[in-house]
Amino acid sequence: MRPRGGSSQELWLRLALAAGAFALACGLSTLRIGHGAPDFYVFWTAARHWQAPYDPAIIAHLEAQIHLGGVWPFAYPPTFLVLVWPFTLAPLALAYPLWTGLEAGLFVYAAAGLVRPAWATVFLAATPVVFFAAALGQTSLIVGAAMIGAWQLRETRPAVAGALLGLAACVKPQALLLAPVVFWGRWRLLGWMAAMGAALVAASLAFGWQRWLEWRDALAAFRALAPQTDRINPSALSPSAAWMILMGALGLCLAVSLRDLVGLVGGALCLTPYAHAYDLAPLAPVALAWLLEWKTRGWPHAILGGALLAGIITTPTAALGFLTAIAIVRSGVFAKEPTFGFAWVSTRPAEPPEPSPIYEA
Q: In this structure, is residue 244 part of a structural domain?
A: yes
What average pLDDT does the segment 55-73 reach?
73
H/E segment holding residue 284: helix 284-292
* Domain containing residue 130: 8-330
Q: In this structure, is residue 359 part of a structural domain?
A: no
Cis preceding-peptide flag for 353 (omega within 30 of 0)? no
Q: In this structure, is residue 269 part of a structural domain?
A: yes
Q: In this structure, is residue 228 part of a structural domain?
A: yes
What average pLDDT does the segment 230-244 reach?
91
Average pLDDT for the chain: 86
Number of domains in the chain: 1
User: What integer pLDDT is reported at residue 357 of this predicted model?
Assistant: 45
Supply the angle between the helices 56-66 and 38-48 in degrees, to the nearest 10: 130
| Per-residue confidence band for 167, with pLDDT thresholds at 50, 70 and 90 | very high
32-62: buried (b, 16+ CB within 10 Å) or exposed (e) per residue? beeeebbbbbbbbbbbbbbeebbeeebbeeb
Cα 186 from Cα 354, distance rounded (Å): 16
| Per-residue confidence band for 159, with pLDDT thresholds at 50, 70 and 90 | very high
Neighbours of 274 (CB within 10 A): 18
- The distance between the two most distant Cα atoms of the chain, rounded to a whole number of Å, is 61
Q: In this structure, is residue 116 part of a structural domain?
A: yes
Q: In this structure, is residue 175 part of a structural domain?
A: yes
User: What integer pLDDT is reported at residue 71 of this predicted model?
Assistant: 62
Contacts (Cβ under 8 Å, ≥6 apart) of 336: none
**Full-model pTM:** 0.88
| Per-residue confidence band for 33, with pLDDT thresholds at 50, 70 and 90 | low
Q: In this structure, is residue 126 part of a structural domain?
A: yes
Indicate whether 345 pLDDT > 60.
Answer: no
Tell me the percentage of the chain whose pLDDT exceeds 70: 86
Indicate whether 35 pLDDT > 60.
Answer: no
Q: In this structure, is residue 279 part of a structural domain?
A: yes
Neighbours of 328 (CB within 10 A): 13
| Per-residue confidence band for 73, with pLDDT thresholds at 50, 70 and 90 | confident
Residues 105-147 have pLDDT tens digits of 999 999 999 999 999 999 999 999 999 899 888 999 999 999 9
Residues 36-59 have pLDDT tens digits of 567 888 899 999 999 999 998 887
User: What integer pLDDT is reported at residue 80 of this predicted model?
Assistant: 97
